[in-house]
Amino acid sequence: MSQPRVSIVCPKEFDFADAAASVERPILEKVAEVETLWMDFRDPLPERVIDADAIILWHGIQIDRSAMAGFRRCRAIIRNGVGYDTVDLDAAAERGIAVCNVPDYGTEEVADHALALILALYRQLFPLDAEAKRLGWRIGCQSRMRRLRTQVLGIVGLGRIGIATALRAKAFGFRIVFFDPYVPRGLHKAVGIERVDSLDDLLRLADVVSIHCPLTAETRGFIGARELALMKSSAFLVNTARGDIVQKVPLFRALREGRLAGAGLDVVEDEPLRTSEEASTPNLIVTCHAAFCSPEGMVEMRSTSARIARAAVLGEPVWNQVNQTA
């Protein structure tokens, strides 16, 4: 009888995976056949994936209800990362397929990246770099530079990364407030920050807003024209969570019209940037959905996914499950 099979599915645009499955294979080789497949974002799932016992799924590839209709043996879909919005959770639950993620692998990296964007905006690193390289010394951006301990950092979503960001920002002297209706009352006391009861209150109060909530039906387009209008014209917006949480068109318009002082985005709605006009938006820093990246984080993520897949093919309990199966 053949071994169970674990398919690792990676978009062709990414080189995070390797054909040898060098991280995953040592964990899985005694219990399952392991293979890595690359595909375009919109390609149909190959037959090898449809027939797999477990799937490790990199960012971007969609597995919807129609794709799952052909699944014959799949016990688990493991999203190699935090977000799981590319998988139809209800359809998976109906078929008894556990959907799991890896929520803790990039906590340090994403929190560090959020702080890096915040500091770059406050200290105007990129405008100053450009000025110096023009052989100038004008410091034309000084009005945007602030003493950090006079500033309010508003965090939207106080999960692992939100807490890690808050703790880092405290060291710089920020007053920190957060909005998260799903966090138990009193948690903010343990972390030493302040709670507000509505997103609107946070947006009005904060000098910089950092997004750390998951992308769900509730948070898709969460920050749009109305919300941006509540923010101070001197405020900054940072997003290292998911691009579709912040509506791109009203944000870029606010930056062009000077109704927002700046934005630092690791993720963008309908990423990547699509036009030269988007790329030339003033007071905008954009990185390449790279906040999670580090050699250490990648090994941690891949090995965690492999261990979950191993448990699934052995019929053992899985962890980090985000849907409810019978």
Of residues 35, 131, 194, 271, which has the active-site annotation?
271
Phi, psi for residue 48 in degrees, rounded to 5: -60, -35
Q: The tokens of 97 are what?
A: 């397929």
Domain residue spans in the chain? Answer: 5-105+295-313, 107-286
Nearest to 308 by CA among 75, 120, 16, 58: 75
Of residues 289, 300, 302, 310, which has the active-site annotation?
289
Rg (CA), the chain: 21
Return the CATH fold of 107-286.
Rossmann fold (3.40.50)
Question: Given 3.40.50.720, 2.60.40.1220, 3.20.10.10, 1.10.3230.20, which CATH number is that of 5-105+295-313?
Answer: 3.40.50.720
Q: Alpha helix (H) ranges present in the chain?
A: 25-28, 47-50, 65-68, 89-94, 107-122, 125-133, 160-171, 187-191, 199-205, 225-230, 248-256, 276-279, 295-313
pLDDT at 326 over 80: no
> Is 242 considered catalytic here?
yes
- CB-CB contact of 242 with 221 (8 Å): no
Chain segment 250-288, per-residue pLDDT in tens: 999 999 999 999 999 999 999 999 999 999 999 999 999
Chain segment 222-251, per-residue pLDDT in tens: 999 999 999 999 999 999 999 999 999 999
Q: The tokens of 307 are what?
A: 């261990």
pLDDT at 177 over 70: yes
> Is 271 considered catalytic here?
yes
Q: Mean pLDDT, to the nearest integer, of 170-178?
A: 98
Q: How confident is the model at residue 45 (pLDDT cuts 50, 70, 90)?
A: very high
Q: Alpha helix (H) ranges present in 123-192?
A: 125-133, 160-171, 187-191
Alpha carbons within 13 angstroms on the beta-carbon side of residue 72 total 8
Chain segment 130-166, per-residue pLDDT in tens: 999 999 898 999 999 999 999 999 999 999 999 999 9
**CATH fold match for the domains 5-105+295-313 and 107-286:** yes
> Is 218 considered catalytic here?
no
pLDDT at 304 over 60: yes
Select, from the ranges 42-46, 85-89, 115-119, 189-193, the one with the highest average predicted confidence (pLDDT): 115-119
Q: Could you give the 3-state DSSP secondary structure of residue 254?
A: helix
User: What is the number of helices (H) and of strands (E) in the chain?
Assistant: 13, 12
> In the beta sheet, which residues pair with residue 56?
8, 78
Q: What is the pLDDT of residue 201?
A: 98
Q: What is the pLDDT of residue 161?
A: 95
Q: The tokens of 237 are what?
A: 């917006």
- CB-CB contact of 110 with 291 (8 Å): yes
Of residues 25, 59, 195, 242, which has the active-site annotation?
242
pLDDT at 40 over 80: yes
What percent of the chain clears pLDDT 70, i.e. is strictly above it?
Answer: 100
- CB-CB contact of 139 with 146 (8 Å): no
Amino acid letter for position 226? R
Q: What is the pLDDT of residue 42?
A: 83
Q: What is the pLDDT of residue 1?
A: 54
Total count of residues recorded for the chain: 326
Reported pTM:
0.88
Chain segment 29-39, per-residue pLDDT in tens: 999 999 999 99
Q: Mean pLDDT, to the nearest integer, of 301-314?
A: 97
Mean pLDDT taken over the chain: 95
